[in-house]
Structure 1
């Protein structure tokens, strides 16, 4: 893959995201948020990749994966008016169909590089990476999962702290409902990553996102999460009970032991 290929991918992405104008301010805002998210995730990929001392070609691949990982989100939101995969369709698979339909990789990069990029995109939103993914592909799969989580956590927490800064942001807004599911509490305490399909209350979603801190693969990603104080900032919006404090203490212990 060459620098010329990277310039082409950047230009294509910029032009593609302009295809979804809407008079609905909510749709317009969320598509813009998703575009900016993709750009920030690309930057996280480069930051984390530099820490891992990836070579030039690996950095090219990391940038493309970061930029394209959510390319399916634009059609998803316009079609279904939601970013919830379980209420619409898997946005990673939809993204791959967009890239194929648009022939984005025609004459760009090798077939092996395309397969690696597609595998990383396909695995970025799964609870776990497929067990058959190995080697350099696995490294980049883990990288996109970390970069994606870092930016989502930052944007979600920032919204909780100041909703007016990102109006129309497609996220739960109810902080008054303090119910939560005991199954999710127990799942986190057993070290499991919980599916969104298990969510029954707004607190459940916050607990799942809190547990993402247990699923960061690289020390640089965890360092960033700690510097940005994601754990205490997010926990501030979770009701403090005996159960949730156990979750907080468990996550703090795992994070401390991983350093």
Structure 2
């Protein structure tokens, strides 16, 4: 496979359009009497951070030129539906509003953003956008779609880890939007989340009962990192370690906290990692 992306990795025109689109949506929100553009600004920053994480993966993995371009476009556009979602519903919770992946697909089609791309690239990017927020990807996806969807999902998680680490290191009370309106109650926990972590699988949002559960769920994302480069970044960035260290050092979190910290710490300190 080709590994030098060259000009195929240049998506500056797409980045310019995205920046203008996001700014326009923010201006609409700001013009409202009770408008709050803060969450939308966070999504703009998040989208660019996910793109940067995707670039790191594309530079490290052995993707073809076409696969690399698909990954970068999908990363840039994965949350394009969030802006309209917030304007319409004032929330980023899909269950209380709409599926932002599907909304993003409709926006990209309406705006004809990918009409200038090769049909195979356009198809794979749109598929990755609509699939990126599923709990698990379906079996049998075309290779280019599967690679792009996994890159976006890994890159997305890596930035969310940083955002959550920075927020949960700050003063309380936590922003309800950031912590999904979960209570920060030491004695409240989910057996399902703890069990998932003990079994080495990703915990489900639907099982969360507290902020500590959320910390633990974020740590379990390591089990869903798809590439060597994203697993390495997951450990080396240190955000997951910080989040796990914030868990209570007593039951029922103690054993799973210690186990995950030892696993990630060993990987971080390994000479070949």
Alignment of 1:1-259 (within 5 A): 6-20=11-25, 21=27, 22-23=29-30, 27-106=36-115, 108-162=116-170, 170-172=177-179, 176-178=184-186, 179-252=188-261, 255=264
Contact 1:49 1:59 in 2 (8 A): yes
Q: Could you tell me how far 1:252 is from its partner in structure 2?
A: 4.5
Say if 1:13 and 1:251 are closer, same or farther in 2 by CA, change over 3 A: same
Task: Provide the rounded CA distance (Å) in 2 between the counterparts of 1:140 and 1:28.
Answer: 30
- Equivalenced residue count is 256
Say if 1:5 and 1:47 are closer, same or farther in 2 by CA, change over 3 A: closer
Task: Provide the rounded CA distance (Å) in 1 between the counterparts of 2:211 and 2:176.
Answer: 15
Q: Could you tell me how far 1:198 is from its partner in structure 2?
A: 2.1
Q: Could you tell me how far 1:5 is from its partner in structure 2?
A: 7.9
Of stretches 172-181 and 49-58 in structure 1, the one that deviates more from structure 2 is 172-181
TM-score of the superposition, structure 2-length normalised? 0.83
Superposed structure 1 runs of 4+ greater than 6 Å apart: none
Task: Provide the rounded CA distance (Å) in 1 between the counterparts of 2:144 and 2:182.
Answer: 41
Q: Which segments of 5 or more consecutive residues in structure 1 lack a partner in the other structure?
A: none
Q: Which segments of 5 or more consecutive residues in structure 2 lack a partner in the other structure?
A: none
Q: Could you tell me how far 1:231 is from its partner in structure 2?
A: 3.0
The structure, 1 or 2, with the larger RCO (C-alpha pairs under 8 Å, 6+ apart) is 1
Task: Provide the rounded CA distance (Å) in 1 between the counterparts of 2:175 and 2:24.
Answer: 20
Q: Could you tell me how far 1:254 is from its partner in structure 2?
A: 5.7
Say if 1:200 and 1:46 are closer, same or farther in 2 by CA, change over 3 A: same
Task: Provide the rounded CA distance (Å) in 2 between the counterparts of 1:159 and 1:4.
Answer: 32
TM-score of the superposition, structure 1-length normalised? 0.87
Task: Provide the rounded CA distance (Å) in 2 between the counterparts of 1:121 and 1:246.
Answer: 37
Task: Provide the rounded CA distance (Å) in 1 between the counterparts of 2:10 and 2:117.
Answer: 7
Task: Provide the rounded CA distance (Å) in 2 between the counterparts of 1:69 and 1:94.
Answer: 10
Indicate the RMSD between aligned Cα atoms, in angstroms: 2.8
Say if 1:67 and 1:191 are closer, same or farther in 2 by CA, change over 3 A: same
